[in-house]
Structure 1
């Protein structure tokens, strides 16, 4: 019986950066009677670049000991950089991955006007502290009281794969009480809470101001937020989000202030596959939401929430204009006040709320858990707070397929009459628009990941037993001698620990007829994928001679039709047989796939109780494939030919496995057990190299 624990190797790729631009304009509130602006002004020219795409800079991160792809903690080197830069410096981080086990804090002593800049392939990764099994802090980088700083063209990602390894709060970048901050052309992936948090100082006293978030891509986080944990005070004023994409987020933008804040500009962003809201907003006035695209949001596209405070100041200028909301559950909800917290009717309504020239298509309103047609309005107002808006303009909005058969309507006049003073409604149309012919540019397709880190995954047993991965053991339950972490002196390749994989013979009652104890990576669902694999293996002292073959590393096929019953030859594997190491490779371009012959490469006698370093490069191709193997730095295999199976077959996907697979117990009963130690496992993409894999 196979016990399976989910080990999800996250193989991450990111969008390449776009042209650089600064967006420092004040929020401009358009007159609803003015003509539609066909396009935004052209962006400023990109920053000059040097040879081979290196941006203009005067300081190199390498000078402070920040070495990419060395799998070491870069915290100490980064702190040296913080202490060593000067006002106006532009610090360049070359391509590769930098790992941090501790939150890096840029405080008020950090020089002004500093730019940190990466390349399209510069990755900043969060990793746990080995002794504590936790990341030390909340965010990868925290700006605290910083002035005039830019962070440009990085790929921020969370490399901690298990819930046990995450702190309660887990952010990418946090900006606290800072001024004139530019976050441009970065990618953020996989943070439990905020990809980006821009808010007040930790005590809630000092708001952040003049913050520009431009051309970033956010993936698989809870939100991008301005929320602070104190739930008090102004969080941020004059913040702009422009030309970003928000992908698979719970809430795309969670823009909240706990005191009346001014100036939010949300322009030309795209929101895809939101679990709850696209934009959630409360506590601001002077708001512009324009030229945005919302697709497949399972809550509100735009949700104006109640203020968490009462204000005697006049609140004005909510402009929602020229947006597209496509196949979302709800359109726009207006509930700026909670009827339980303010006078009813309200004494100080919001002045000038404009919803102009928007397009709504496929707003389905409901699901099985909420069939109440009371909520079936594209523009929905909270009917319980009377006279909460003074001057509501609905002008020239277009809608199509809004679940009319279930009672869907564009707005409910009776509810609006109860809540709005001075209504200006005209020009609403029920018709379909061609999104390709809109009078403004809109991104209607979710962006694909374009670039990958050189190292897709690294397992270092110093850091954790990789419980998030899926692993296969030969026992009905996890028993202590299946896969275990070993910290005895001499049993790790370089650091403090390795993993022992142990398999007991077929007569062990816990085996139940199985033959393997392995861990495995996710399936690579790519055509003709290029991969690098590095790992270190130490055979135990009792790895005795046997003519029965057993694998230590193999790449297996995976069916794209879900049929695991077909007998398909493994494309390639490292094995032991008759006292020797051996590597084999197989492949075929035929469909259906035949049982094919293997090409074998004898690699000499194996030694016990000795670490051997292996590196494998493979280009999967059923005709013109390549496979190279290095043993302790010496190339021992150089193969060209079929590697794996045809793209149009049902078994061209692959996944790697490390551990013991022994299929010949019965033929060679003198072998009663097998144990191997494995350490320093790395999976590289096509961006890797032999030198990178050697680190």
Structure 2
């Protein structure tokens, strides 16, 4: 398992700030050409961001951290639907050792942490024809939070449960230090479940998220589109936590606790991020679905 560097939030925001505010932040997100590690590692984050922004060939660890029992569980393969793009194939077996308390093969962006303010995200996943429908949850994407002490669920998670594809939302305005008269806990964290649709195999599910991150009451907004349809929206409401480094995206397979199926395989596209000046069309155009809305079975408004 590759571990991402421990960076201060100020350092991440200050380094390469021009790219962070761009419509598409290629220094921190986007495609890679191989799942191998870069044979020429650089010492400083600023050096990595500068190289990423202009590189014509990019390695997995230029942009992503891998969480898995083995690097062989992640592969770069042709799009199973036949397009010219390459995508990630994530695999987990029930016999694999647990990683941080769960079965997982997932990738997260190494340098894309946002504490407060507007950030755009685009990510996609495809459930293959041999996907086993089971009531136990499989998390396939997250907008996770970086915390030092209190363990809380991610602000946004896309979860496959049985035949349902759900969006789970979690947030808390209380302090995360574990001290004081009313600290944040798992029990007093706000939870919301949105049933986004029924899972169809061999179909891309493409998400675009505009998050104005905030843990402060009355401040913040969140819009989540799935396959061109607005699946969830909130305004003037907190949507995250008082995070340490910030909120960051990840995609892949995460099965909490004991795995209830023999194996899981999932295809995902790369993660793309953009600054406040980005738009839905800019981000959606990067996904396998493009900007056109696609019908989705039993979407609940």
TM over 0.5: yes
Are 2:139 and 1:555 equivalent residues in the alignment?
A: no
2:68 alignment partner, SS class: coil
After superposition, the Cα gap between the structure-2 partners of 1:523 and 1:584, relative to the gap in structure 1 and judged at 3 Å, is farther
Please name the residue that 1:534 is paired with. Answer: 122
Match of 2:88 among 487, 490, 499: 499
Please name the residue that 1:577 is paired with. Answer: 161
Q: Which runs of 5+ in 1 are unaligned?
A: 16-94, 100-122, 134-160, 167-188, 193-218, 222-455
Give the aligned CA root-mean-square deviation in angstroms. 4.1
- The TM-score normalised by the length of structure 1 is 0.33
Please name the residue that 2:174 is paired with. Answer: 590
| Superimposed CA distance per residue, residues 93-129 of structure 1 (whole angstroms, 9 cap, x where no aligned partner) | xx86799xxxxxxxxxxxxxxxxxxxxxxx9xxx999
Match of 1:12 among 8, 12, 16: 16
Please name the residue that 2:227 is paired with. Answer: 632
Contact 2:16 2:46 in 1 (8 A): no
Structure 2 CA distance for aligned equivalents of residues 457 and 678 of structure 1: 22
Are 2:236 and 1:643 equivalent residues in the alignment?
A: no
Contact 2:24 2:272 in 1 (8 A): no
Are 2:220 and 1:619 equivalent residues in the alignment?
A: no
Higher strand share: 1
Shift of 1:578: 2.0
Please name the residue that 2:292 is paired with. Answer: none
Aligned residues between the structures: 259
If asked which structure has higher relative contact order (CA below 8 Å, sep 6+), I would say 2
After superposition, the Cα gap between the structure-2 partners of 1:552 and 1:14, relative to the gap in structure 1 and judged at 3 Å, is same
2:89 alignment partner, SS class: strand
Are 2:250 and 1:657 equivalent residues in the alignment?
A: yes
Please name the residue that 1:602 is paired with. Answer: 195
Shift of 1:464: 4.6
Structure 2 CA distance for aligned equivalents of residues 220 and 539 of structure 1: 35
Please name the residue that 1:679 is paired with. Answer: 269
1:133-282 → structure 2 map (5 Å cutoff): 162=38, 164=40
Contact 1:491 1:497 in 2 (8 A): no
After superposition, the Cα gap between the structure-2 partners of 1:614 and 1:470, relative to the gap in structure 1 and judged at 3 Å, is closer
Please name the residue that 1:693 is paired with. Answer: 283
Are 2:62 and 1:468 equivalent residues in the alignment?
A: yes
After superposition, the Cα gap between the structure-2 partners of 1:683 and 1:537, relative to the gap in structure 1 and judged at 3 Å, is same
Shift of 1:617: 1.2
Structure 1 CA distance for aligned equivalents of residues 31 and 134 of structure 2: 41
After superposition, the Cα gap between the structure-2 partners of 1:492 and 1:541, relative to the gap in structure 1 and judged at 3 Å, is closer
2:278 alignment partner, SS class: coil
After superposition, the Cα gap between the structure-2 partners of 1:463 and 1:639, relative to the gap in structure 1 and judged at 3 Å, is farther
After superposition, the Cα gap between the structure-2 partners of 1:509 and 1:656, relative to the gap in structure 1 and judged at 3 Å, is closer
Contact 1:486 1:499 in 2 (8 A): yes
After superposition, the Cα gap between the structure-2 partners of 1:191 and 1:469, relative to the gap in structure 1 and judged at 3 Å, is closer
Shift of 1:468: 2.5
Structure 1 CA distance for aligned equivalents of residues 132 and 227 of structure 2: 22
Contact 2:101 2:256 in 1 (8 A): no
2:60 alignment partner, SS class: coil
| Superimposed CA distance per residue, residues 328-376 of structure 1 (whole angstroms, 9 cap, x where no aligned partner) | xxxxxxxxxxxxxxxxxxxxxxxxxxxxxxxxxxxxxxxxxxxxxxxxx
